[in-house]
Amino acid sequence: MQTPTLSAKISRLLHKDSTLGPILLSPGFLFLAVMMAYPFFYAIYLSFTDKEVGGAANFTGFENYEKLFSTTLFAKTVVNSLVYTSIALVLKFSCGMALALLLNRPFIGQRFAKALMLLPWILPTAFSTMIWQWIFSPAFSVVNEVLVNKLHLISQPLPFLRDETWAMGSLIFINLWRGLPFFAITFLAAIQSVSNEIIEASRIDGASPWQSFWLIVFPAILPVVTIVMLISTIGTLGDFDLPFLLTRGGPNNATTMFALTTYNLSLGSGLIGLGSAVTMTMFPFLLVLIIASLINVRRQQQG
């Protein structure tokens, strides 16, 4: 009997799913382990140390967390992050759904409207924020110029970035403008995947358009809605570029959020351990959301 050659052995192994699967997955797994898992666990470790830039990382237990929880900066960071995320999400969901339903109806220029709608989403945030900075600028707001000097509708310029409430409102508005296309296009794709026959049958049975949407379409697209909301929550809660570029967290820390506070502490002040602790405080919020969403999706699939 002839002994199989090495190449034949390798070939046989590669034809087994139990071997080929792990081999094919290993590069991706290694990449994730090195580039994501390692930094994540290293950040957890740093959050329990007094690490400062250039200094040693000495274990200090929960000291960083105790310090953080006793500051007004952290309290504002949490409140701002939750306000920003929740309002932006509600607006993106409701406006995105309305837009998706509108785009689901045939009209002249529908394709052009879809393409145009994607513009805010495909523009680099740094670029679009520069445009918004010009629109909301304390010195040269084009909106104020038109309202005050051209149309004479108001006598004093609107305080877009210099009033605490207005600054948060401006950030939420830009987040809505930027995130709306993702919601609308995803919802539209999900709506279009719902069978027309079922919707038509419901209408024949006497359901109103609202009842058709609420009792048939919405339950059918709920898994997609859940995933979109989850992805957007993670992105919005960790939003950095918008507050960094537009308000730097001001005025009076009214727009500072988790990622910006982390950046300011870690990279601005060199307090790396504390910055890591801020990041870690965001994690429980996200974990709860992820678990709740996954349970919801599983229920939908089982139901």
Partner 1 sequence: MKQTKLTRRALLKGAGIAALGTGVSALAACSAPAPTPAPAKPADTGAAKPAAPVTLKGAKVNWLGGAWSFLPELDPVIDNFANDWAKQNNVTLTIERDQNFGPKIQTAIETGSGANIIQSATPPAIYAKSLVDISSVAEALSSEGGGYLPAGPFVAKNSGKWIAVPLGQHNWFMNYREDWFKEEGITKFPDTWDEMLVAGKKLKAKGRPFGMTFSDKAAGDGNAAPYLILWAFGAKEFNPDGSLALDSKETLAALEYAIQFHNDCGDPGEVAYDDGANNSGFLAGKISMTANVNTIYLPATKNNPAVAAGMNHAIPPKGPAGRFGAATLPWWGILGHTKGADLDAAKDLIKNFFSVKNLGAFYKAGQGYILPMLPKFESEPIWPADPKLAIAKDMFKLALPAGYALPNNNKLSSLMQEKVLIGKLFSQACSTGNAKAALAGVMKDINDLKLLS
Of 63-71, 114-122, 186-194, 219-227, the segment contacting partner 1 by CB under 8 A is: 63-71
Q: Which is nearer to partner 1, 78 or 278 (CB)?
A: 278
Closest alpha carbon to 81 in 277, 293, 261: 261
Here's the x/- map for partner 1, 113-142, by CB under 8 A: it reads as: -------------x----------xxxxx-
Residue of 108, 98, 76, 74 whose CA lies nearest to 218:
98
Told to check if 39 binds partner 1 by CB under 8 A, we report: yes
Does the footprint of partner 1 cover residue 157 (CB under 8 A)?
yes
Contacts with partner 1 by CB under 8 A: the residue count is: 60
Residues 183 to 212 in contact with partner 1, rule: CB under 8 A: none
232 binds partner 1 (CB under 8 A): no
Which residues, in sequence order, are CB contacts of 74 under 8 Å at separation 6+?
68, 261, 278, 281
Which region among 191-199, 207-215, 233-241, 288-296 touches partner 1 (by CB under 8 A)?
233-241
Instruction: Say if residue 179 is exposed, middle or buried (CB neighbours under 10 Å; 0-12, 13-18, 19+).
Output: buried
* Token duo for residue 131: 């445009």
Retrieve residue 187's tokens: 């919802």
CB of 180 to partner 1, least distance (A): 21
**Rounded to whole angstroms, how far apart are CA atoms 294 and 234?**
14
Angle at 82 between CA 239 and CA 300, to 5 degrees: 90
Residues facing residue 59 across a β-bridge: 49
Quick one: which of 270, 283, 289, 297 contacts partner 1 (CB under 8 A)?
270
266 binds partner 1 (CB under 8 A): yes
Q: Which stretch binds partner 1 (CB under 8 A): 8-16, 68-76, 93-101, 205-213?
A: 68-76
Q: Per CB under 8 A, does 259 bind partner 1?
A: yes
Nearer to partner 1, 45 or 218 (CB): 45
Q: Which residue type, as a one-letter code, is found at position 197?
A: E
Smallest distance, partner 1 to C-beta of residue 267, A: 5
Q: Which of 4, 21, 55, 219 binds partner 1 (CB under 8 A)?
A: 55
Among 3, 7, 18, 72, binds partner 1 (CB under 8 A): 72
Which residue has tokens 């727009």? 255
Q: How far is the CB of 121 from partner 1 (least distance, A)?
A: 18
d(CA 135, CA 119) in angstroms, rounded, equals 18
Query: In angstroms, what CA-CA distances link 199 with 1, 26, 207, 301?
Result: 67, 45, 9, 20
Quick one: CA dihedral 223, 197, 211, 111, positive or negative?
A: positive
Closer of 166 and 218 to partner 1 (Cβ): 166
State yes or no: residue 32 binds partner 1 (CB under 8 A). Answer: no
Residue 143 binding partner 1, by CB under 8 A: no
CB of residue 82 to partner 1, shortest distance in Å: 16
49 DSSP β-pair partners: 59
**DSSP designation for 37:** I
Q: In the complex, which residues of this chain contact partner 1 (CB under 8 A)? A: 34-36, 38-40, 42-43, 46, 52-55, 67-68, 70-73, 126, 137-141, 156-157, 159, 161-163, 238, 240-241, 244, 247-248, 250-253, 258-260, 262-272, 274-276, 278-279
